[in-house]
Amino acid sequence: KDVKDYLHLLDKPLDEFEAPGARNSTLGEDALWHVLYSLGQDNTYLNKRKAYWGLVLAVRDRMLEKWTAVQRKYYANDDKRLYYLSLEFLPGKFLRGNLLALGLENEAHEFLHEHDLSLDEIVDEECEPGLGNGGLGRLASCYMDSMATLGLPAYGYGIRYSYGLFRQEIRNGHQVEQPDNWLHEGSHWLIPRPHNLFPIRFYGTVNEWLDDDGMLRHDWRGGDLVMAMANDMYVPGYRNGHVNSIRLWEARPHKEFVLSSFNAGDYIGSVQEKISDENISMVLYPSDDAPEGKTLRLKQQYFFVAATMRDMVRRFKKLNKPWDQLPEKNVVQLNETHPAIAIPELMRMLLDEELLGWEEAWCICQKLFAYTNHTILPEALETWPVKLIERLLPRHMQIIYEINRRFLEEVRLHFRDEPELPSRVSLISAGPEQRVRMSHLAIVGSFSVNGVSSLHTQILKDRVFHDFIRIFPDRFNNKTNGITPRRWLRQCNVPLSWLLSEHLGCNWITDLTQLKKLRELVDDVEFRHDWEQCRLTNKKRLADYIEKVNGITVNPHSIFDVQVKRFHEYKRQLLNILHIISLYNNIRRNPDVKMQPCTFIFGGKAAPSYQMAKDIIYLINCVARRVNSDPHTRNFLKVIFLANYNVSLAQLLVPATDVSEQISTAGYEASGTGNMKFALNGALTIGTRDGANIEIGERVGDGNIYLFGLCEKEVLALRRRGYDPWEFYKNDSELREVLDMINSDQFTPGDSTAFSSIFNSLLTGGDPFMVLADYRAYVETHKRISHEYVDRDLWIKKSIMNTAGMGYFSSDRAVKEYIDGIWSLEPDV
Ligand code: BZD
């Protein structure tokens, strides 16, 4: 069927929020107008590029109208505002989502149809902004979508990186990084606001002076100034007429040229400084779960935080209210510790610029900030050398010392019999190099600290921040992550969305708990047939992509088993590939084996400096080359590595996946959100009892998820007892065979040491992520999956039960929990 014929069945009718005739021109007319008058190009004929850019501008006009009306309303209602501070946002492509939210899809289809074009080819023109590494940035974008859909007075704040996360190419099996110049053609989704400009200071000195009351005051001056310029990105709510924005700061030189050098004839020298100022927002740091201790990174953090606090204070001052009302009118959510320097920055503004007293300023801060933790990996907990902060942000270091002095005084007072406690909770770690512990700063300076799944929050309370739980018993809470059903079902899986709307009506798009009604349909044979057809359609689409991009033919009836996420040892892509090798060995040994054909698909980037992760990518590609070309196994087994995994690729993969791999070592994955996307679209999860997998299991039902392996407590216990991977090597001959192959030239003819780092890490290195300990359970679970997949009725029932149970994992639910439990905001619905 033509898409135009069924779109109206999918979504909430438009007239509920806007009469279609509210404008006197159509989307298509406006697009043509923009092609001529904004782009300066001939609009008598259109190609893909012109149609794309014309549409973008026409859609943007409509968003801007709504956005200004919404801003006016915020002021008129004197609403409390939320500031969501994040160094990363991963919105994915905009056009399709914005059309959908604004109810313009049909008009767009009609316009493109008239010009012999289709939306599918037009969206290919769009470049995806990769302004994030993975989970944390994508979560921020899901939450922005839900906040707009719930009509919340919310603002996202971050950095307008000129270069997003690197583009990944695979050459001879190795990851090669290429720059992601996502703005090379400009982006009309981003509106520069050259008048929203703030000077940001670095380095310099602190002067002291006495005010009229004889109080010691501080004044930070000198040093270097860099300008922060606003660029706004718009986030429309789903068919509610609401549009919010994400303000991304761009670094600009304070002065165009250093005039003194310029006049002295040093032209290049004078431009150099301009370049180094602009460096601040040049590139996103590509490490996920492992902060880089570079000065430039700290500069990025302070740069965006200082500009954001200025913007917040500017808006607040317009209200003419006393300072103690700042936290009544605003709340600041810190996405990880990356923006935690906001706490001393606001203190500095209140003390040094607004001349408040310490107690008053501190009380405001503690009521304003809330902190979300996303990781418990020790190497990911951010710390900065005191020496560095002292030099770069001298006043902030003084303020951090004072926060710490007062905090530790309280701790000593209340925990007199625990002399060790103060040094454990101190904001500053001792040792040869003193460092500021950003998580401690964030905890002490916030009124709320939350984890992102039940297990993760429990681990924070029991282990990572155990001391703080006793000091601030009411401060810790859990907010299990969620994903937006607009992008992760309605947009990425049109066939299934249609089926759902046909049977349940379309309210599931904003009330995902409606999906539970699917349970009544599992026994309906016709429904199950349609369900399977939807899945097959999506799998064929993915198979076409793989054929086109990788040049490999895959069987759409094979099991599509997918692991896509950043490469990290704790996520255990290794466990997956070890199993594939053993499967390969088994098929070669029994050529007549009756087994369901399998296609194993991998995707994900490794941080450029993370050698082990890169070695694992290389191993997967080498195994793929061998397996895919072996005539004995070709019909049963395919291994595919999809290069440059990003949001767009996820939207293609998620609806086509049968088996979702969520196999991190228990206790390491804070939540995971990919796990939610797959299960929502009807994939079955093979996973460890880690992060949100546990909660997914509780909601889809034990029988509809494949949980295996050691749980978090068992991992701890085994480590305490003494874990010896050699035991598993000796006792499991299949596993031994696989490991010995890796330690030979089987996959890299002529080079027997290509993977010795991997082999050594798993054995002599002690296998820190317990891959070998979970190996047998994983293999046996895969056997069960392969067996159960063949029973199509059983499998499809399980698939339906997964979608039916996933309503809880909507980011709308998560955001509502933040509203009620942390932000105390009024949604405008
Ligand atoms: O955050 C991720 C976790 O690893 C996931 O389990 C979780 O689902 C998501 C969303 O909550 N964390 C990150 O993506 N990144 C970081 O935590 C991080 C930490 C330090 C430096 C850079 C990134």
pLDDT for 517-556, tens place per residue?
999 999 999 999 999 999 999 999 999 999 999 999 999 9
Residue 811 Cβ contacting ligand 1 at under 6 Å: no
**Ligand 1, closest atom to CA 692?**
8
Rounded to whole angstroms, the Cα distance separating 674 from 535 reads 18
Does one domain contain both 401 and 548? no
Relative to beta strand 369-372, strand 330-335 is parallel
Rounded to whole angstroms, the Cα distance separating 130 from 165 reads 5
Q: Give domain status of residue 48, yes or no.
A: yes
Does one domain contain both 115 and 149? no
Does one domain contain both 69 and 203? no
Query: Which residues lie closer than 8 Å to 349 by C-beta, 6 or more apart?
Result: 309, 310, 313
Rounded to whole angstroms, the Cα distance separating 346 from 306 reads 8
Does one domain contain both 559 and 457? no
pLDDT tens, residue by residue, 223-235: 999 999 999 999 9
Residue-number span of the structural domain to which 765 is assigned: 485-809
Judge whether 566 counts as a catalytic residue: yes
Q: Give domain status of residue 505, yes or no.
A: yes
Q: How many A from CA of 27 to the centre of ligand 1?
A: 39
- The answer to whether 604 touches 567, Cβ cutoff 8 Å, is yes
Rounded to whole angstroms, the Cα distance separating 725 from 691 reads 24
Judge whether 571 counts as a catalytic residue: yes
Residue 136 Cβ contacting ligand 1 at under 6 Å: yes
Backbone angles phi, psi at 15, to 5 degrees: -65, -5
Judge whether 314 counts as a catalytic residue: no
Residue 743 Cβ contacting ligand 1 at under 6 Å: no
Q: How many domains does the chain have?
A: 3
Q: What is the sign, positive or negative, of the torsion defined by CA atoms of 310, 128, 373, 226? A: negative
Tell me which amino acid residue 189 is. Answer: W
Judge whether 625 counts as a catalytic residue: no
ipTM of the complex, rounded to two decimals: 0.98
Does one domain contain both 436 and 557? no
Q: How many A from CA of 412 to the centre of ligand 1?
A: 33
Residue 493 Cβ contacting ligand 1 at under 6 Å: no
DSSP 420: T
Q: Give domain status of residue 103, yes or no.
A: yes
* Number of Cα atoms under 13 Å in the Cβ half of residue 254: 13
Q: Give domain status of residue 167, yes or no.
A: no
Q: Give domain status of residue 165, yes or no.
A: no
First-to-final CA distance of the chain: 35
- The answer to whether the pTM exceeds 0.90 is yes
Does one domain contain both 424 and 558? no
Alpha helices for 349-471 (secondary structure H)? 358-368, 386-392, 394-414, 421-425, 438-444, 454-459, 466-471
Does one domain contain both 99 and 241? no
Q: How many A from CA of 396 to the centre of ligand 1?
A: 26
Classify residue 265 by burial, with Cβ atoms within 10 Å: 0-12, 13-18, 19+.
exposed
Residue 291 Cβ contacting ligand 1 at under 6 Å: yes
Rounded to whole angstroms, the Cα distance separating 724 from 738 reads 18
pLDDT of residue 13: 73
Q: How many A from CA of 136 to the centre of ligand 1?
A: 5
Q: Give domain status of residue 828, yes or no.
A: no
Rounded to whole angstroms, the Cα distance separating 575 from 709 reads 12
List the chain residues with pLDDT less than 50: 19-20
CATH number at residue 795: 3.40.50.2000
Closest CA to 249 of 271, 230, 225, 222: 230
Per the listing, tokens 């190497």 go with: 379
Judge whether 579 counts as a catalytic residue: no
Backbone angles phi, psi at 110, to 5 degrees: -65, -45
Alpha helices for 254-339 (secondary structure H)? 259-263, 267-278, 295-317, 326-329
Q: Give domain status of residue 170, yes or no.
A: no
Does one domain contain both 418 and 515? no
Structure tokens belonging to residue 667: 């206790």
Query: Which residues lie closer than 8 Å to 192 by C-beta, 6 or more apart?
Result: 229, 230, 231, 250
Does one domain contain both 792 and 775? yes
Does one domain contain both 466 and 515? no
Does one domain contain both 516 and 411? no
Tell me which amino acid residue 80 is. Answer: K
Q: Give domain status of residue 427, yes or no.
A: yes
Q: How many A from CA of 374 to the centre of ligand 1?
A: 5
Does one domain contain both 215 and 106? no
